[in-house]
Amino acid sequence: MGWRLGRVDRRRTVAFGSYGIAGISVAVTIGVGLAIQQFTATNPIAFLLFVPPILVTAMWTDLRASLVATVMGGVAAEFFFRLPYRSFPLGSDEVVPLSLYLVIGAGISVLAHRLAKARADAQEANHLKDEFLASLSHELRTPLNALLGWIQLLRSGQLSEGKRVRALDAIERSAELQFRLIADLLDESAAMTGKLRLTRETVDVAPLIEGVVESMRAAAEGKGLELHTTVGHVGTRTLDPSRLQQIVANLLSNAVKFTPPGGRVDTVVNCVAGELCIVVANTGPGIPPDFLPFVFDRFRQADASPTREHAGLGLGLAIVRHLVELHGGTVEARSTPGEGARFTVRLPAGEPSRSSPALPRDAAPDRPSP
């Protein structure tokens, strides 16, 4: 199942409820208007009665439902509240006010829908910010705690030679983890400001990717995973070699992280219609269907709770998307529950049709040096 299928299914689920709210709000308004007519012996200003249902529908559902509420309100106003009652077709003197109502109602629908969407987007951004800050504090604190603990033990002078070596290895691993976290943050910041740059050169792709896979082998075997690589004849390409390594490393790291012990991670590299095609697939539970449309969004994680099983800031796949797009390519995620996930990167044969930001080396943020 691709992310597009997941999104369509969700929209279909919501559609009936949206139009139901539109119909109910218009029906309630008709009832209120008829009550006003009966008990006050006055004819309410018909079209004004149906502005609240438009607002309610636009704020709580979607634009199409609010436009439906607008049309239903216009028909109800003419049928129930304008003399002569319950008569069609409309007279010439009724067409103009009905047309004005429909135009104004459509404008109100669009404006109210945009306001509701802006409010929802702001709430979602605030929620993501809170989740990110919580994840960031946790991810930075964990290696720092290890660093401080081992440094205190080293200062005590009570460690044997074997434990000193172990302490230095642990300190190095914690420092490397900190470096990767900060590098990801800098890359995402550069991507958001349009300053992420590429340094293209002609490279032999096969050994480059094979080297990345080998660097991940120890982590994969440590989890009891099978790591398989198939590299076809892809020749040389003009691209940024360090960024290509970063793309493959992030995809493989993500696959290793979410593949259960005893699983399998496959990397396949070949040429398809002149494009460089890189596929990273893994076995396991796969990506939840409701999360699949957001898998490349920054700071997004399927499980963002403080007690989540897998660590990370949710930046790896977002950086992959930015780097692939800078090369003029595409990246796609597909997943079937219980059958793992499959990420496919396609990069063009030569220079992309649109140029990536060309900034002086000292003008763009760089990845920090360890």
pLDDT in tens, 180-217: 777 777 777 777 777 778 889 999 999 999 998 998 88
pLDDT for 362: 34
Give dist(CA 302, CA 292) in Å, integer. Answer: 9
The 8-class DSSP code of residue 294 comes to G
Query: Which is nearest to 231 in space by CA: 196, 203, 267?
Result: 267
Domains of the chain: 3-123 (no CATH), 131-192 (1.10.287), 201-347 (3.30.565.10)
The helix/strand count (H/E) of the chain reads as 9, 7
Q: What is the dihedral of CA 327, 330, 336, 337, to 10 degrees?
A: 50
CA distance 122 to 141: 28
CA distances from 199 to 313, 327, 359 (A): 26, 11, 10
pLDDT (average), residues 90-109: 71
- Predicted local confidence at residue 46, as pLDDT: 65
State the pTM of this model.
Answer: 0.56
Q: State the sign of the Cα–Cα–Cα–Cα dihedral 231, 353, 325, 286.
A: negative
φ/ψ of residue 267, rounded to 5:
-120, 120
- Residue owning tokens 């943050």: 185
Give me the percent of the chain exceeding a pLDDT of 70: 74
**Is 320 a residue whose pLDDT tops 50?**
yes
Which of these ranges, 93-102, 136-145, 185-194, 306-315, has the smallest mean pLDDT? 306-315
pLDDT band at 7 (very low <50, low <70, confident <90, very high): very low
pLDDT at 370 over 50: no
The CA R_g of the chain, rounded to the nearest whole Å, is: 29
The tens digit of pLDDT for each residue in 83-96 reads 555 455 555 556 66
The rounded mean pLDDT for the chain is 75
Q: Based on the number of CB atoms within 10 Å of its own CB, is 38 exposed (0-12), middle (13-18) or buried (19 or more)?
A: exposed
The residue assigned the tokens 């740059």 is: 197
* Neighbour-count burial of 68, counting CB atoms closer than 10 A to its CB (0-12 exposed, 13-18 middle, 19+ buried): buried
